[in-house]
């Protein structure tokens, strides 16, 4: 049975959404192509009509979540509000929709050049966003503060998810937020 162009596009979006969700929950190595396709409601055999390899799927899923040039620029939330939401228990506990950096960053560091390029450009965008409201008298000081803030947020989220003590986890999030140089 022939599949229309519209169905191919819809199926591709479903595959990428399923992959993104599953990769965040279980990591790149913890998810098989068959599991992605099943979650997307498609057969395993259809996968190679969309992607030549799992590595290509990983790069595409991350690329979709972190577009190099978004079609529609998203309005920027104030940096302090972003930090409040990022360093929350809700974000900590929602792996399926969590930040790619805190959920997959260490794995992505060993990924393909394409994957790392998407991650690099997204890091640049986040630092630029945070720089606009970071503490400092000069652009260099604001950038330094933004890099420190973003690094602290991602690191805190990794640690908050890692520990098996909920009280310590919450303390890590709270104290990191209190220390951030964001107004």
Question: pTM for the complete prediction?
Answer: 0.80
Q: Looking at the chain, list the stretches that DSSP marks H as alpha helix, in order from N- to C-terminal side.
A: 5-26, 33-39, 54-65, 79-86, 89-93, 100-108, 113-131, 139-162, 166-179
Identify the residue with better confidence: 77 or 97.
97
Q: Which long-range contacts (CB under 8 A, 24 or more apart) does 32-37 make?
A: 33/57
pLDDT of residue 111: 87
How much of the chain exceeds pLDDT 90, in percent?
Answer: 58
Give SS3 for 98.
Answer: coil
Domains, the chain: 5-65 (1.10.10.60), 79-179 (1.10.357.10)
pLDDT at 13 over 90: yes
pLDDT of residue 182: 72
Integer Cα distance of 151 and 101 in angstroms: 10
Encoded tokens for 62: 């991350």
pLDDT digits (tens, 9 = 90+) for 17-76: 999 999 999 999 999 999 999 999 999 989 999 999 999 999 888 888 776 655 555 556
């Amino acid at each position: 049975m022939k599949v229309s162009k519209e169905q191919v596009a819809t199926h591709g979006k479903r595959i990428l959404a399923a992959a993104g969700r599953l990769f965040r929950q279980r990591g790149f190595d913890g998810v098989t192509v068959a599991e992605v396709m099943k979650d997307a409601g498609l057969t395993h055999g259809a996968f190679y009509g969309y992607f030549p390899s799992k590595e290509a799927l990983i790069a595409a899923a991350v690329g979709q979540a972190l577009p190099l040039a978004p079609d529609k620029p998203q309005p920027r939330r104030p940096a302090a509000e972003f930090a409040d939401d990022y360093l929350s228990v809700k974000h900590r506990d929602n792996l399926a929709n969590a930040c790619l950096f805190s959920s997959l960053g260490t794995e992505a560091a060993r990924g393909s050049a394409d994957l790392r390029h998407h991650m690099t450009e997204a890091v640049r965008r986040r630092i630029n966003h945070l720089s606009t409201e970071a503490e400092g008298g000069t652009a260099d000081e604001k950038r330094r503060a933004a890099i420190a803030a973003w690094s602290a947020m991602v690191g805190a989220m990794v640690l908050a998810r890692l520990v098996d003590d909920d009280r310590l986890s919450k303390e890590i999030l709270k104290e990191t937020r209190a220390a951030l140089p964001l107004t």
